[in-house]
Amino acid sequence: MATNDLKQFTKDEVATHNKADDLWVVINAKVYNLTRFKDMHPGGAAVLLDEEVAGQDATEAFFSLHLMEVLDKPQYQRLQVGVIAGEEPSIRAHSFGAISNVPYAEPTWLSPGYHSPYFTENHRQFQQEVRKIVDEFITPDAMIHEDDGKRPSQSVLDKMAELELHAMRLGPGKHLKGRKLMNGLVKPEEFDYFHELIITQEVARCNARGYGDGLMSGTVIGLPPVLNFGSEELKAKLLPDIFAARKFICLAVSEAQAGSDVFGLQTTAVKTEDGKYWIINGTKKWITNATFSDYFTVGCKTEDGFTVILVERGEGVETRPIKTSYSSSAGTGFVTFDNVKVPVGNTLGEEGGGIFVMLRSVQNVICLLRNVLKHCSNFNHERWVMCCSSARSQRSVTEACLQWTSQRKAFGKPLNAQAVIRNKIAAMISRCESVQSWLENITYQMCNMSYRQQSTKLAGQIAFLKSYSTSCAQDTARDAVQIFGGRGITQSGMGKTIEHYHRTVPFDALLGGAEDVLSDLGVRQALRDMPQDSRL
């Protein structure tokens, strides 16, 4: 029922409905009849029958205990019987695609009155459309499946495919040619890394870490080797189905015995006598999207060294879920290859040339030959994507803390009246802004460098940024829990976003390279470029 169709009451009229058999309250200028609901209230009927609640304006009391989203649930919307005459809601309801008016809740380029040298009007239009999609389709689905552990709904994946979001998440490139991006809003040749940054940061706003990885993140890291090194036949077979979300792919390199060190891989690929097939045996662990993937980009040990082979799910391929700190909707799994027969045509790059497939840069191969593979991978794009997500997630947590400390009362004053609380928030804001600024600078460099230049110039920068951003994220997570108290460790209610973030933030600190490893990479890159004639 529209607000205009609801009956109007005065607060004096509502005040007469203050008994157990006739119980009304006012919340945000709306009148609710809680007579039948009171006995089902999780906090008990006594809370609602309190003289400061029954028949009264309970807006402040409600929002000190409940999220706005509670009022949006159908079972509670049905309890509304009217509105307060001549009064507008004092609390702004969430709306699809809206920009937050909370200070620092949005990056500077999105905040009214600020300017940016990086983002164009097309970027701004693109952001608006992506946010609408995230708010209307992705976030509601994320709230369901982050809890039940099922992969993202096919209807959501189909909607993303309709707009070519799956293809755009792989960044700029030839794979976008001929595609209608965001209903034609962006031309394929004009799509850049800032557009991709926008996609990643908007999706991160759903605040569901496992679900976010379940949104075909395996494609982001598993498909590029096929794009860059697969035969035309392979690409013709895979790309249409994967970009349409009819099929799924993941990157399968990590093993229980070997993570970053691909020289330690124990999964083997041996050719048949006729040389037409590979026979693959081994296991892979902690593989994102493994449980529902149709294809696996597999790192194997072969006679010539390290080889990357595309494996299709079939006889001999088994997956089982691995329970981790975040949701099973990510499809994290253990993969077993038992005498799997794969055509030699599925080899990505040269036999024994897995180094080039994973590194794609002469300079990085030199680094590899110096036995620093684990510090010098081609996961620059993957790490950059993680930085985009980390920066946005930290900002969402900071926004929640600013809101909570404004509405939560302690000792008769808002929490933010305490200097120690303001100090924690100051640190959160500083971390958010510094990470985002560094990220935007690196993104600009990526837009203006060739891939080889990126590999040479930005490997260390991106490694530093990821290490810094995830370190900042863990500090922010810890401070947020302290600010929210018990709610910050509760998986429902006011602090559920904080609890979830604190529980899952270590993923960002580990995936794509641990913080210490990446910091060391950054220093090594700097030392490599140290001039021989430089002295104090």
Structural tokens at position 23:
């119980």
For the four alpha carbons of 108, 112, 118 and 119, in that order, the dihedral sign comes to: positive
Residue 148 has pLDDT above 50, yes or no: yes
pLDDT in tens, 267-312: 999 999 999 999 999 999 999 999 999 999 999 999 989 999 999 9
Residue 374 has pLDDT above 50, yes or no: no
Crossing angle of helices 380-407 and 459-484, in 10° steps, is: 20
Name the amino acid, one letter, at 249.
Answer: I
Contact assessment for residue 507 and residue 428, using Cβ atoms and an 8 Å cutoff: no
What is the average pLDDT score of the chain?
Answer: 92
Residue 2 has pLDDT above 60, yes or no: no
Least confident of 59-73, 204-218, 254-268, 410-424: 254-268
Contact assessment for residue 203 and residue 134, using Cβ atoms and an 8 Å cutoff: yes
> Taking residues 159-177, what's their average pLDDT?
96
Whole-angstrom distance, CA of residue 152 vs CA of residue 159: 12
Q: Predicted confidence band at 95 (pLDDT cuts at 50, 70, 90)?
A: confident
> Taking residues 29-45, what's their average pLDDT?
94
Predicted confidence at residue 363, as pLDDT, reads 35
Percent of the chain at pLDDT exceeding 70:
95
Q: In the block, which residue shows the tokens 């600078």?
A: 441
Pairing of strands 22-27, 30-33: antiparallel
Residues paired with residue 336 on neighbouring β-strands, in sequence order? 283, 318
Residue 255 burial (10 A CB sphere; 0-12, 13-18, 19+): buried
Predicted confidence at residue 97, as pLDDT, reads 85
Pairing of strands 80-84, 249-252: unpaired
* Whole-prediction pTM: 0.90
pLDDT in tens, 193-212: 999 999 999 999 999 999 99
Residue 365 has pLDDT above 60, yes or no: no
Structural tokens at position 319:
């997956």
pLDDT in tens, 123-133: 999 999 999 99
- The 3 state secondary structure assigned to 138-204 is HHHHHHHHHHHCCCCCHHHHHHHHHCCHHHHCCCCCHHHCCCCEHHHCECHHHCCHHHHHHHHHHHH
Predicted confidence at residue 37, as pLDDT, reads 95
Q: Predicted confidence band at 366 (pLDDT cuts at 50, 70, 90)?
A: very low
**Residue 134 DSSP one-character state:** I
pLDDT in tens, 57-69: 999 999 988 998 8
pLDDT in tens, 229-257: 999 999 999 999 999 999 999 999 999 98
Residue 12 burial (10 A CB sphere; 0-12, 13-18, 19+): exposed
Structural tokens at position 336:
């077993």
Whole-angstrom distance, CA of residue 481 vs CA of residue 487: 8
pLDDT in tens, 323-346: 998 999 999 999 999 999 999 999
Instruction: Identify which has the larger pLDDT, 198 or 372.
Output: 198
Q: Predicted confidence band at 451 (pLDDT cuts at 50, 70, 90)?
A: confident
Predicted confidence at residue 260, as pLDDT, reads 61
Residue 498 has pLDDT above 70, yes or no: yes
**Of 105, 222, 94, 208, nearest in space to 147 by CA:** 208
Predicted confidence at residue 355, as pLDDT, reads 72
**Of 347, 386, 414, 330, nearest in space to 511 by CA:** 386
Q: What is the dihedral of CA 403, 408, 414, 416, to 10 degrees?
A: -50
Predicted confidence at residue 257, as pLDDT, reads 84
> Taking residues 117-140, what's their average pLDDT?
97
Whole-angstrom distance, CA of residue 202 vs CA of residue 392: 8
**Of 377, 302, 307, 293, nearest in space to 335 by CA:** 293
Predicted confidence at residue 369, as pLDDT, reads 38
Instruction: Identify which has the larger pLDDT, 3 or 11.
Output: 11
Longest dimension (CA), the chain: 91
